[in-house]
């Protein structure tokens, strides 16, 4: 990808906006209310009654998590985990921990916050890792669900938006080659951006 492209202005590289900042904000408010209601009404299983632990999966979940936690009217803590998925050159069977959680999740109520569930492979591996650490409960909240590409069934309790088509989306944390995460909306990249990057990476 050329430097010129990056300084040109990100919005010029978007073919269409799928979800506006206003739609995101409205949906995040509703999700926050649902989560607070559920954990007040039986979803919390921690035998010691400790606060909900929200775990953001780096880096894509950052903007979503930052907005979501402020919409959840509950005592909560948050932590982050970074994993390398197969998109970074590994096979679908492999997910490596790049940054682990700071604290134990044993007997805690954990809410995993993801940017997008696509094939489901990454989340499936994360869930296995988490369950091996014996939390009291695990739920998943994803900003975007792309069920058309699912290869592994994964339990997702809270979904921001379902995208019914197979499109690659960027913005509000979602990237293409580490760019576009700072767009305030979620959109589809112009085709020539992919093509140009493919040629440059040859």
CB of 188 to ligand IMP, least distance (A): 9
Which residue in the set 84, 107, 119, 137 belongs to the binding site for ligand IMP (CB under 6 A)?
119
Spatial contact of 17 and 161, defined as CB atoms under 8 Å apart: no
Non-local CB neighbours of 5 within 8 Å, separated by 6+ positions = 13, 193, 196
**Closest separation between CB of residue 107 and ligand IMP, Å?**
27
Q: How far is the CB of 186 from ligand IMP (least distance, A)?
A: 9
118 binds ligand IMP (CB under 6 A): yes
Q: Rule CB under 6 A: is residue 145 a binding residue for ligand IMP? A: no
121 contributes a contact to ligand IMP by CB under 6 A: yes
- One residue of 168, 194, 198, 200 binding ligand IMP per CB under 6 A: 168
Residues 85-104 that bind ligand IMP (CB under 6 A): 85, 87
Q: Which of 106, 178 has the CB closer to ligand IMP?
A: 178
Cβ-count burial of 179 within 10 angstroms (0-12 exposed, 13-18 middle, 19+ buried)? middle
**Where do the DSSP E strands lie in the chain?**
14-19, 52-58, 76-84, 96-99, 109-117, 137-145, 158-162, 169-170, 186-189
In the residue annotation, 118 being an active-site residue is answered as yes
Span of 9-17, 35-43, 97-105, 113-121 interacting with ligand IMP by CB under 6 A: 113-121
Rounding to the nearest 10 degrees, give the CA dihedral for residues 174, 178, 181, 186. Answer: -40
For 15, how many CA atoms within 13 A lie in the half-sphere containing its CB? 11
Phi, psi of 103 (to 5 degrees): -130, 170
Q: What is the distance between the alpha carbons of residues 120 and 115, in angstroms, rounded to a whole number?
A: 12
Per-residue contact string for residues 19-58; x = within reach of ligand IMP by CB under 6 A = ----------------------------------------
List residues near ligand IMP by CB under 6 A. 60, 85, 87, 115-123, 168-170, 174
Q: Which residues are catalytic?
A: 118
């Amino acid at each position: 990808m050329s430097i010129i492209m990056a300084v040109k202005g990100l919005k010029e590289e978007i073919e269409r906006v799928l979800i506006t900042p206003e739609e995101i904000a409205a949906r995040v408010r509703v999700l926050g209310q649902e989560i607070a209601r559920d954990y007040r009404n039986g979803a919390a299983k921690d035998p010691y009654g400790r606060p909900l632990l929200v775990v953001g999966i780096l880096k894509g979940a950052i903007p979503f998590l930052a907005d979501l936690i402020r919409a959840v009217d509950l005592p909560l803590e948050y932590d982050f985990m970074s994993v390398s998925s197969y998109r970074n050159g590994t096979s679908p069977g492999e997910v490596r921990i790049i940054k682990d959680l700071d604290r134990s999740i044993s007997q805690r109520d954990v809410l995993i916050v993801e940017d997008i569930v696509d094939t489901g492979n990454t989340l499936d591996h994360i869930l296995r890792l988490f369950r091996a650490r014996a939390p009291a409960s695990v739920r998943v909240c994803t900003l975007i669900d792309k069920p058309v590409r699912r290869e592994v069934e994964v339990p997702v309790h809270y979904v921001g938006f379902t995208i019914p088509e197979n499109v690659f989306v960027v913005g509000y944390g979602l990237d293409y080659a580490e760019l576009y995460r700072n767009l305030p909306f979620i959109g589809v990249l112009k085709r020539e951006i992919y093509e140009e990057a493919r040629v440059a990476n040859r």
